Structure 1
Amino acid sequence: MLRKRGSVILCGAFLFITWNAILVLLLRGRPLPGQLSEPGEEQKRAAVRPTNDVVGDVLRIADTFEAELERQRKILLEIQNHHSQWEASNRDGPKVVVPPQPVIPILVIACNRVTVRRCLDKLLQHRPSAELYPIIVSQDCGHAETAEVIRSYGDKVTHLKQPDLSDIAVQPQHKKFQGYYKISRHYRWALNQVFKTLSHSSVVIVEDDLEVAPDFFEYFRALLPLLKSDPSLWCVSAWNDNGRDGFVDPGKANLLYRTDFFPGLGWMLVKDVWEELEPKWPASFWDDWMRQPEQRRNRACIRPEISRTLTFGRQGVSLGQFYDKYLRYIKLNSEFVPFSKLDLGYLNEETYRKAFEKEVYSAPVVTYEDVKQGKLKGPGPFRLQYSRKDSFKVMAKNLGIMDDLKSGVPRTGYRGVVSFMSRGQRIYLAPPPGWTQYDTSWS
């Protein structure tokens, strides 16, 4: 009995010493005598003040400890109650919804060029997000070496293979154009894969001989909302047909235009437009078909002052048409322009048309000889006027810009006007005031 009682005393003494050690630590933060204290604080200190009654002290300490636990439990319940009330008050309140970023796939049309590696390397180098810009390579031709290059990228790209590699029955006079027929068939198949099989709502199309600029992805992302919301637009292109070095303003990398000419060579298309085009897609020469009035339907594309793509593919089905004279000299933009932070409202149809026509037709009219001989004074702009197909072609050719027309529309033209730089001065090659429509016989 004595042994048991001694154990109880020792246990109580241990608890007493431990509790007092805790109290010492706690009381260091308590107010000193004479300082303000909360109501009941003095009673709590009295309750835990040690006396000569060891067992009594232990019991009092236990009671105090239990009371403290109960107080802490009430505080926690109160906090939980306030949290629940806060959640309830915000549940029906206005919510800030951050819309998900749209996914914009990049469709690379490939065939038998192992130099597709240059195209893919640049796309991967400048791509800011694999999730937002999946790269889909659609290969025609069945060329094994090109397929091996594409496979070497692993899961960085999706490799599709056009299953129908057969020759296409064409009229005898079109036998030499077999390649154009296969390209058109491939485009139709590949775009159906993107929009119908993979269920994307937009796509940027590049060919395997294009190199892209550092702000290529930024450019298309910023312009996608405008393309979707403005029914007077049907594409966004990264290409300026007259974008050779010396024919563009190097200080205007952020300058964008509307154009009635379908540029291609790195362009964005939305699903609604594809659903319109796909049922009547042509058997060949799809890009010229896109430039016909029946497809264009008075809609425009957006194009840049300085190209966001550069073609390095001299060899192809076109046998290098225009490459040596024009395409190899196209200036590729090197300055990153944060288009998504710019106000692009000036590209809306009515706003743009009024401002553009005002600038063009308020510019002084000059002669071809003065432009050619560099006799113009001042920075410009200047207006060089044409009234017939022949006069347009002669002036365009001699000034170094592309002189061909498709369904009456000049390359880069907007309402008949072609904008370019000559000797550091802005020139508008323009029809007379009062222009109304293109003459489709000018082709």
Structure 2
Amino acid sequence: MLRKRGSLILCGTFLFVTWNAILVLLLWGRPPPGPLGEPGPEQRGAGVKPTSDVVGDVLRMADTLEAELERQKEILLQIQDHQALWEPPRGGRPKVTAPRPAVIPILVIACNRVTVRRCVDKLLQHRPSAELHPIIVSQDCGHAETAEVIRSYGDKVTHLKQPDLSDIAVRPEHRKFQGYYKISRHYRWALNQVFKTFSHSSVVIVEDDLEVAPDFFEYFRALLPLLKSEPSLWCVSAWNDNGRDGYVDPGRADLLYRTDFFPGLGWMLLKEVWEELEPKWPASFWDDWMRQPEQRRGRACVRPEISRTLTFGRQGVSLGQFYDKYLRYIKLNSEFVPFTKSDLSYLKEEVYRGNFEEEVYSASLVTFEEVKQGQLQGPGPFRLQYSSKDSFKVMSKNLGIMDDLKSGVPRTGYRGVVSFMSRGRRVYLAPPPGWTQYDPTWS
């Protein structure tokens, strides 16, 4: 195909040169006008009609020549443009066309909260492109007022409705958890719509009670290539479980971590991972199921120092669990970090793990009392060591960070280490050196 196009380019160039050569010869070889200005025999029938004004004839011929040369110049420029597209540059490599930007849809999981408007308004406010980030709102519950709010956005969003609104048969002791079963069913249906019906290759999932930060889209767009290329990662989350004011570094909005804990609350998933999870998707409690070692399989997620989502939904199936004590105080990032212009290769496992462990275990070892009473000396970082489930939970609870564990993994933990700020100093709550694996009985 390239050889054929090259031949066409050469042919066009040849015609251009030949035409102009003939044109010049004809003009130079044109005989002078006959007596009294009459044209010679070679001029009869030519495009420029003779007149008695010899000077005028010459000027008109010049105008015709100039117009023709201009037209030929345009043709040559077009030939050169096509040649630049198809001919390989010097060095023999073919010209590489820039890949099209990835489309990353946003899936909003909705039910019966009319406050979904706050979620969608922020998404629309901060969205850089409707084409690159289509918003899909999937609604369960059949709540008419919520459906009307979603419809009010018109073609700015795609409104899906979960068709199965029936109750789910559960064990008698699980009747109070009916809502969790319906949520899990809805997630499965909605994700199948995204990946199977709409054929997207990735998705960012938010729930209807989340507000997003100004650089929410920038964050996920920058991390998509890393998620695709790094087998040791299986999700990217916008959430820091310990991201309350005073527990994060306000000057490091650009700081990102690997974590072994699945955070959720605004997270990106690839189609390949969904194809792995969907056949065994649980009937309920899908988020805790994601935190089991059988699903995680030693993989990590990326999470930020400062959250890119904020939950405003106190009421829900979890009845506000953790909301009043932790979630309502989460700090939402307010500045724009240009992540797509940053080098994020430090998050690759072979780089990150060694650097992280070096920083943690070279930090000064301190006591719980020194941290609790604000007696740390120097800028830090500092290491506070726990040796058992009970010591972890006691120190966490008393220091104001989340103390629960899922399958042995603490919230935000990476290789057992939880990072947080205490009175402006970095503290690592860490297991002893030589840590190898989580204990699933620590739950």
TM-score, normalised with respect to structure 1: 0.85
- The structure 1 segments of at least 4 consecutive aligned residues displaced by more than 2 Å after TM superposition are 53-57, 59-96
| Residue 80 (structure 2) aligned to one of 83, 86, 97 | 86
1:322 aligns with 2:322: yes
Q: Which residues in structure 2 correspond to 1:49-88 (within 5 Å)? A: 58=52, 60-61=54-55, 64-65=58-59, 68=62, 71-72=65-66, 75=69, 79=73, 82-83=76-77, 86=80
Task: Work out whether 1:385 is the aligned partner of 2:385.
Answer: yes
Query: Residue in 1 aligned with 2:295?
Result: 295
The residue number in structure 2 matching 1:396 is 396
Are the aligned partners of 2:244 and 2:329 in contact in 1 as well (CA < 8 Å)? yes
Q: What is the CA-CA distance between 1:64 and the residue it aligns to?
A: 3.1
Instruction: For 1:217 and 1:77, locate their aligned partners in 2 and report how far apart those are by CA, in whole Å.
Output: 47
Q: Please give the alpha-carbon distance, in whole angstroms, between the structure 2 residues aligned to 1:77 and 1:210.
A: 60
Q: What RMSD in Å do the two structures reach over aligned CA positions? A: 2.6
Q: Specify whether residues 79 and 119 from structure 1 end up closer, same or farther in structure 2 by C-alpha distance, changes over 3 A only.
A: closer
Provide the C-alpha distance between the structure 1 equivalents of 2:307 and 2:395, rounded to a whole number of angstroms: 23
| Distance in 1 of aligned mates of 2:311 and 2:64 | 78
Q: Secondary structure at the match of 2:187?
A: helix
Q: Tell me what 1:235 maps to.
A: 235
Using the alignment, how far apart are the partners of 1:261 and 1:77 within structure 2?
67
Cα deviation for residue 320 of structure 1 reads 0.5
The range that moved more, 215-224 or 60-69, is 60-69
Between the aligned residues of both structures, percent identity stands at 79
The structure number with the bigger radius of gyration is: 1
Q: Specify every segment of 5 or more residues in structure 2 that has no aligned partner in the other structure, as ranges.
A: 1-27, 40-50, 89-93
Cα distance in 1 for residues equivalent to 2:52 and 2:320: 100
Mark the CA change 1:85 to 1:434 in structure 2 (over 3 Å): closer, same or farther: same
- The 8 Å contact of residues 249 and 305 in structure 2, kept in 1 or not, is answered as yes
Q: Distance in 1 between matches of 2:244 and 2:109?
A: 24
For the pair 1:212 / 2:212, whether they are aligned, the reply is yes
Per-residue deviation at 1:130?
Answer: 1.0
Output the CA distance in 2 between the equivalents of 1:249 and 1:66.
Answer: 78
1:98, distance to aligned residue in structure 2 (A): 1.9
Residue in 1 that maps onto 2:100? 100
In terms of mean alpha carbon deviation, does 329-338 or 78-87 score higher? 78-87
Cα separation, partners in 2 of 1:204 and 1:60, compared to 1, 3 Å: same
How far is 1:73 from its partner? 7.2
Q: Deviations over 1:251-293 (max 9, x none)?
A: 0000000000000000000100000000000000000000000
Deviates more, 1:80-89 or 1:93-102: 80-89
Note closer, same or farther for the CA distance 1:81–1:283 as it changes in structure 2 (3 Å cut). closer
Distance 1:439 1:88, change over 3 A: closer
Secondary structure of 1:313's aligned partner: coil
Q: Name which of structure 1's ranges 299-308 and 117-126 shifts more when overlaid on structure 2.
A: 117-126
What is the match of residue 112 of structure 1?
112
Q: Deviations over 1:302-326 (max 9, x none)?
A: 0000000000101100011000100
**Matches of 2:149 and 2:217 in 1, distance apart?**
23
Q: Report if the CA contact (8 A) 2:119-2:211 is conserved.
A: yes
Cα offset for 1:164? 0.3
CA gap 1:332/1:82 in 2 versus in 1, 3 angstroms: closer
- Per-residue displacement from partner, 1:24-56 (whole Å, max 9, x unpaired)? xxxxxxxxxxxxxxxxxxx9xxx99xxxx7889
Task: After superposing the two structures, state which structure 1 stretch, 377-386 or 82-91, moved more.
Answer: 82-91
Which stretches in structure 1 are left out of the alignment for 5+ residues? 1-42
- SS of structure 1 residue aligned to 2:275: helix
Counterparts of 1:430 and 1:125, CA distance in 2: 40
* CA gap 1:69/1:408 in 2 versus in 1, 3 angstroms: same
Equivalent residue, structure 1, for 2:131 = 131
TM-score w.r.t. length of structure 2 = 0.85
Instruction: Tell me: CA distance 1:214–1:62, structure 2 relative to 1, closer, same or farther (3 Å).
Output: closer
Partner residue in 2 for 1:29? none
Q: Deviation at 1:434? A: 0.7
Matches within 5 A, 1:232-381: 232-381=232-381
Find the aligned partners of 2:352 and 2:255 in 1 and give their Cα distance.
13
**How far apart, CA to CA, are the structure 2 residues paired with 1:384 and 1:365?**
6
* 2:17 corresponding residue in structure 1: none
Question: What corresponds to 1:33 in structure 2?
Answer: none
- Deviation of the 1:338 alpha carbon: 0.6
In 1, Cα distance between equivalents of 2:198 and 2:328: 35
Q: 1:408, CA displacement in angstroms? A: 0.3
SS, match of residue 103 in structure 2: coil
Change over 3 Å in CA distance of 1:293–1:72 after alignment to 2: same
In 2, Cα distance between the equivalents of 1:218 and 1:70? Answer: 56
Aligned residue type for 2:392: F
Q: 1:400 to 1:86 in 2, by over 3 A?
A: same
Amino acid across the alignment from 2:52: V
2:43 is matched with which residue?
A: none
Instruction: Please state how far the C-alpha of 1:65 moved relative to its aligned partner.
Output: 5.0
Number of equivalent positions: 400
Kindly tell me: are residues 67 and 131 of structure 1, through their superposed partners in 2, closer, same or farther at Cα, counting changes over 3 Å?
closer
State the SS of the aligned residue for 2:370.
Answer: helix
Tell me the distance in 2 between the aligned counterparts of 1:314 and 1:89.
62
- Distance, in Å, in 2 between the alignment partners of 1:72 and 1:265 is 68
Residues 329 and 81 of structure 1: is their aligned pair in 2 closer, same or farther, counting only changes over 3 Å? Answer: closer
Q: Secondary structure at the match of 1:391?
A: helix
Q: Which residue of 1 aligns with 2:424?
A: 424
The CA deviation at 1:63 is: 5.6
2-side partners of 1:158 and 1:74: how far apart? Answer: 54
The answer (yes or no) to whether the contact 2:37–2:54 under 8 Å persists in 1 is: no
Q: Residues 73 and 424 (structure 1 numbering): CA distance in 2 closer, same or farther, change over 3 Å?
A: closer
Going from structure 1 to structure 2, the CA distance change for 1:425 and 1:95 (only over 3 Å counts) comes to same
- Closer, same or farther in 2 for the Cα pair 1:74/1:141, shift >3 Å? closer
Could you tell me how far apart the structure 2 residues matched to 1:191 and 1:409 are? 26
Question: 1:131 Cα deviation (Å)?
Answer: 1.0
State the Cα distance separating 1:75 from its structure 2 match: 3.8
